[in-house]
Structure 1
Amino acid sequence: MRGYFGIGVEQISKEQNVGTIARSTHAFGGSFFFTIKPDVDIEAMRSSDTSGAFDHMPYYQYDHASKLELPMECTLVGVELTDESIELPSFRHPLRAAYVFGPEMGHLSEDMQAKCDHIVKIPMKFCVNVGVAAAITMYDRQICLGKFAERPVKPGAPLDTPRAKKDTLRRKIRSKKK
């Protein structure tokens, strides 16, 4: 996949959710993980992550949204179910992005929403678990920016595989006319 991304959660309170999100971030190739004002035991959080994600990507912790620091040219994308949010299937993911999710049974703070460059929502009837929302968002990013064949019009596998497309781009050598 091109570019990089990080995943963060604001005011999260359940170690299992943090561990699940960190593991998913690691599995989808995330570059870093962060929390803002977490209400969790860091050691319990690490024990709920069975992939060892915290040994393979940096973890950053901030006391407040205003303290959040991101790499230069990294776009902050909030994931929040609001009327004004962009629906995720219609959103073009930035090449360099950090995605931030709100707490269980809550929302991204107003300070965090104001800091975001974009706010997206997963189109559904009601909110899902924050770990599920994070995984859906990372999967959508992978589909959008990964090197996958276009989805076919009919059910089933694509007719043109990425390898087949590559072969069609070869330069054709013309034989000399006699």
Structure 2
Amino acid sequence: MRGYAAIGLYRPKDPKNLGAVMRSAGCYGASLVALQGARFAQASTDTQKAHRHIPVIETEDLFSVLPVGCRVVAVEFIKSARPLPTLTHPERAMYMFGPEDGSLPGDVLARCDDVVYIPTEYCLNLSMTASTVLYDRMMKRGEWVHAQARVA
């Protein structure tokens, strides 16, 4: 498939969730993980050691590391967001996630091209949210066919 998925993490709190996000990034073919407001720490939950295969960038502003033509999709459990099932994933996307114990601030949300939420009874933790979004992207874009070929 053409295009790429990048992950932007705004002030992630827990290294275990960060490790699980890295693992999901490896499983679902994300091309980049960028962190704002946290130091990268390898966690036991990154069983693939995905940080060795997927670039991890630490930055003071996630928008400063956006590739040209990349669209930013915030994933936030707020009323103004639309449900993830209605999203047509951009060819080149960075999915931006807030901290486990908070939300993306309004000035960050205002700079995003789209804001979606995952329709659940309660909010998910950071790693589950990232996994769900990357899975949704893979399924809607038909990328599961390529993943299926690797299993055979």
TM-score range, shorter chain: 0.7 to 0.9
Q: Bigger radius of gyration, 1 or 2? A: 1
CA apart distance, 1:148: 5.7
* 2:97 is the counterpart of 1:101: yes
Matched with 1:33 is 33
3-state DSSP of counterpart to 2:93: strand
CA apart distance, 1:63: 1.7
Matched with 2:137 is 141
Within-5 A mapping of 1:122-161: 122-147=118-143
Any idea what the Cα deviations from partners look like across 1:53-105, whole Å, max 9, x if unmatched?
Answer: 1110111111235x532111000110001111111001100010000101012
Return the alpha-carbon distance in structure 2 between the equivalents of residues 13 and 147 of structure 1.
31
Matched with 1:16 is 16
Native 8 Å contact 1:28 1:139 kept in 2: yes
Native 8 Å contact 1:10 1:37 kept in 2: yes
* 2:85 is the counterpart of 1:89: yes
Q: 2:60 aligns with which of 63, 68, 72?
A: 63
3-state DSSP of counterpart to 2:101: coil
Q: What TM-score, normalized by structure 1, do the two folds share?
A: 0.76
The aligned amino acid for 1:33 is V
Native 8 Å contact 2:18 2:43 kept in 1: no
Counting aligned pairs with the same residue, the percent is: 35
Return the alpha-carbon distance in structure 2 between the equivalents of residues 148 and 71 of structure 1.
25
Any idea what the Cα deviations from partners look like across 1:9-37, whole Å, max 9, x if unmatched?
Answer: 11111100001001101110011011111
Q: What TM-score, normalized by structure 2, do the two folds share?
A: 0.88
With CA pairs under 8 Å and 6+ residues apart, which has the higher RCO, 1 or 2?
2
Return the alpha-carbon distance in structure 1 between the equivalents of residues 85 and 96 of structure 2.
17
Q: 2:76 aligns with which of 67, 73, 80?
A: 80
Structure 1 runs of 4+ with >4 Å offset: none
CA apart distance, 1:140: 0.4
3-state DSSP of counterpart to 1:132: helix
CA apart distance, 1:147: 4.7
Structure 2 unaligned spans of 5+ = 146-152
Aligned residues: 144
Return the alpha-carbon distance in structure 1 between the equivalents of residues 59 and 109 of structure 2.
16
